[in-house]
Amino acid sequence: MKHKILVTGGAGYIGSHTCIALHQAGYEVVVFDNLSNSSAEAVNRVSQLIDAPIEFIKGDIRDRKALQKVFSEHEFFGVIHFAGLKAVGESVAKPLLYYDNNVSGTITLLDVMSEFSMKRFVFSSSATVYGDPETLPIPENAPRSATNPYGQSKLTVECVLEDLAVADNDWSLVTLRYFNPVGAHSSGIIGEDPNDIPNNLMPFISQVAVGKLEKLSIFGKDYATIDGTGVRDFIHVTDLALGHVAALDYLKEQSGSKEGHSVGFLPINLGTGKGTSVLELVDTFAKVTEQDIPYQFAKRRAGDIASCYASADKAKTLLGWEAKLSIIDMCTDTWRWQSRNPNGYNAS
Ligand code: NAD
Ligand code: UDP
């Protein structure tokens, strides 16, 4: 029998790629998403790619009744919880929305899971919880802090999960801290589709390349880095998706072991362990796509840090997972998606 996974936020960027990886690994997925930052077309395309139907439920994680209905109609092995809002600037302008959606929504979901004795949870956390790191590469036990409501919402959920693990040792709460997810499925059929002008670097570059935006602004050229621009740990979304499969496989193994079935609160970095500068990414993108990427230097963006990259050891040791795809793959696949779908999931 296939293990069934509830994927909240499964119509979104990382969720849609993870649905493919889960299907390929033999899991069955049920997607639950309110489409506040995504399109049902993404789910259709996933279905097309895997050549199988996907159960899609349009609903909000803050809607307890809707969740109760889903849990009463399905028997899940686990939940992967992607649903959340992620725009840092918007979170500063609308903190209540972010705390309600990301924190209250997650608590409602955990509460309903508890009601149905379903206690395997994989949470989308972020490297943002490390604030401005003291140590590089960043290990999972590094100090945590937040500088904006989005980051604080992730950190708060992490604290909720830690407390929950202490209160009830039946829970497995795998907390995956993503570094900088980029790229797209190699088919060019699904990818990242930001609603407005992108805040993040890679979608901004690809929209400049396709002619939707005129010029990239590189925020800061005087950081203490290899070339003065920010350094990040860019990770291909397909590798990231496989990290979720590895986490579930690990929970499957644990649930079959003698010593006990739950892993408690388990934070794991999902990154490559390598830093790449903004300029290096721009240059690689321009080279592999043979597109011109005009850019100018601008002042540092408030809240940005110089460098951030993961210690990827724990994921390798514990989950047997490591990122395989290169910066070239990330640029090539982003461009395939962007050039074939200049308007994202909107046909026109
Ligand atoms: P995304 O916006 O593409 O996907 C999130 C999905 O959740 C969207 O489909 C949205 O419609 C849905 N959603 C939001 N609020 C909901 C609610 N209340 N009820 C039901 N569905 C809801 O974002 P993504 O890039 O795929 O990110 C997925 C998760 O990973 C998020 O929690 C995000 O904070 C986290 N994360 C993302 C990044 C990144 O750079 N993309 C980095 C670190 C962590
Ligand atoms: N960046 C940039 N121009 C942009 C967007 C981002 O120079 O239009 C830089 C940003 O300052 C940081 C890096 O690119 O050094 C990654 O930023 P992004 O927003 O993609 O991710 P973050 O690391 O902030 O989560």
Pairwise CA distance, residues 213 & 326, whole Å: 26
| DSSP β-bridge partners for residue 32 | 8, 57
Which of the ligands is closest to the CA of residue 16?
1
Tell me the best of 124, 128, 201 to mutate to test the pocket of ligand 2, counting ligand atoms within 8 Å of each CB and taking the most.
Answer: 201
Pairwise CA distance, residues 158 & 251, whole Å: 19
Tell me the best of 54, 64, 82 to mutate to test the pocket of ligand 1, counting ligand atoms within 8 Å of each CB and taking the most.
Answer: 82
**Rounded alpha-carbon distances, angstroms, from residue 2 to 22, 26, 77, 231, 315:** 11, 6, 9, 41, 25
Mean pLDDT of the chain: 96
CA of 316 to the centre of ligand 1 (A): 25
Ligand 1 atom closest to 193 (CA): 3
**Domains along the sequence of the chain with CATH:** 4-340 (3.40.50.720)
- The angle subtended at Cα 209 by Cα 207 and Cα 212, nearest 5°, is 45
Pairwise CA distance, residues 5 & 213, whole Å: 38
Residue minimizing CA distance to atom 10 of ligand 1:
37
Pairwise CA distance, residues 296 & 216, whole Å: 6
Encoding tokens for residue 264? 């408690």
CA of 216 to the centre of ligand 1 (A): 24
pLDDT at res. 103 = 98
pLDDT at res. 1 = 79
Active-site residue (options: 150, 178, 250, 309): 150
Count of residues making up the chain: 348
- Provide the b/e sequence for 311-336 (b: ≥16 CB within 10 Å): bbebbeeebebbbebebebbbbbbbb
Specify the pTM.
Answer: 0.98
CA of 278 to the centre of ligand 2 (A): 8
Q: Provide residues with CB under 6 Å of ligand 1.
A: 8-9, 11-15, 33-38, 60-62, 82-86, 101, 105, 124, 126, 178, 181
Which residues, 6+ apart, have CB-to-CB distance to 173 below 8 Å?
121, 123, 161, 164, 165, 263, 264, 265, 266
Active site residue 150: yes
pLDDT at res. 256 = 75
pLDDT at res. 195 = 87
Residue minimizing CA distance to atom 19 of ligand 2:
200
pLDDT at res. 277 = 98
Q: Give the type of residue at 101.
A: N
Residue minimizing CA distance to atom 21 of ligand 1:
33
pLDDT at res. 258 = 60
Which of the ligands is closest to the CA of residue 81?
1
Q: Which residues of the chain have pLDDT under 50?
A: 348
